[in-house]
Amino acid sequence: MRVLAGLAAAVLALVPGAGAMAEPTAASLFSKVPVPSDQPSEPIGGYSRGCGAGMVQLPETGPTWQAMRLSRNRNWGQPSLVSYIEDLSAAATRVGWRGLYVGDMAQPRGGPSPSGHLSHQTGLDVDIWYTPPPSLDLTAKQREKLTAMIVRTDDQLSVNRNWTPSHAALLQMAASDPRVDRIFVAAAVKIAMCQTATAADTGWLQKIRPIYGHHDHFHVRLKCPPGATLCQTQTPSVSEISNGGSGCDDSLTWWVTTYLEELKHPKPPGKKQRGPRDYVMAELPKACVGVLTSP
């Protein structure tokens, strides 16, 4: 309670006319709160500029999952996300896995974080490791040290020998769930899935979106739950990005051609662009002040 009282005072000091000197970042404020807000569950704002009211904690260990990196205290999410993880981890047993190792979800009240993710702010994002769990009885210490399995080659052009049909089957199940908006993967993973896809796979395959990184996990993003009026849907939709197709097109090829060339020849650094770690409370939805200062 002492932490919350201090944060409430800090936030109230930012009210115009209160004489605030140096305004703290939203990330520094949200990262200090160890518990969720005592409010009805609701995602607020956008995935990269928002917060989460009434978040629910994914149990550290379940019958078919283990939450990793417990020291980060990022195994929190909206009830829909916790239910999704429980369902997907159970479904993973159908492809021969014991369950799932679950990476970062969100902080107890969401919001920007001082390190790691730029999104994961509303409690609708989760990282799932590509590592098929050899066991589901890891200690807290083991969960800090274990590294996730990498499934693409160093040149980023293709998947490596760690990639198996069970990985593809798991991703198909993950994307086929109607709660899912999109899933971010390394471009090599999307290419591998496109090589075995059929015309009938368009509906779920367009949700698999290539992006830099994500070589050792896939990032699931859920849709705004029904009735969540303060939640901002991501645009453009995956259907619009894919022109109604599967996304196995020139936009995918760009990630392993032009984009990789641009990485080899970076442009001179320009003026630093402000991002989620720089946001102050005034740049988040107004309701996030209530989330941060709630008991």
What confidence tens digit (pLDDT) does each residue in 36-83 have? 999 999 999 999 999 999 999 999 999 999 999 999 999 999 999 999
Q: Is the model more confident about 7 or about 114?
A: 114
**Residue 140 pLDDT > 80, yes or no?**
yes
Lowest mean pLDDT among 64-73, 262-271, 275-284: 262-271
The arithmetic mean of pLDDT across residues 132-151, rounded, is 97
Neighbours of 5 (CB within 10 A): 11
Q: What is the pLDDT of residue 17?
A: 43
Q: What is the pLDDT of residue 4?
A: 60
Residue 15: pLDDT band by 50, 70, 90 thresholds? very low
CB 173 within 8 A of CB 91: yes
The kind and range of the H/E element at 261 are helix 258-264
Phi, psi of 10 (to 5 degrees): -65, -40
Class of 150-215+235-265 in CATH:
alpha beta
Average pLDDT, the chain: 93
CATH of region 1-126+133-146 = 3.30.1380.10
In sequence order, the 6+-apart residues with CB closer than 8 A to the CB of 266 are none
The kind and range of the H/E element at 182 are strand 180-185
The arithmetic mean of pLDDT across residues 232-240, rounded, is 96
Q: What is the pLDDT of residue 151?
A: 98
Residues of the chain with CATH 3.30.1380.10: 1-126+133-146, 150-215+235-265
Q: What is the pLDDT of residue 3?
A: 55
**Residue 214 pLDDT > 50, yes or no?**
yes
Task: Tell me the one-letter amino acid at 227.
Answer: G
DSSP 19: -
d(CA 112, CA 185): 22
CA distance readout (Å), 48 to 2, 51, 100, 228, 234: 28, 9, 25, 17, 10
Phi, psi of 266 (to 5 degrees): -65, 145
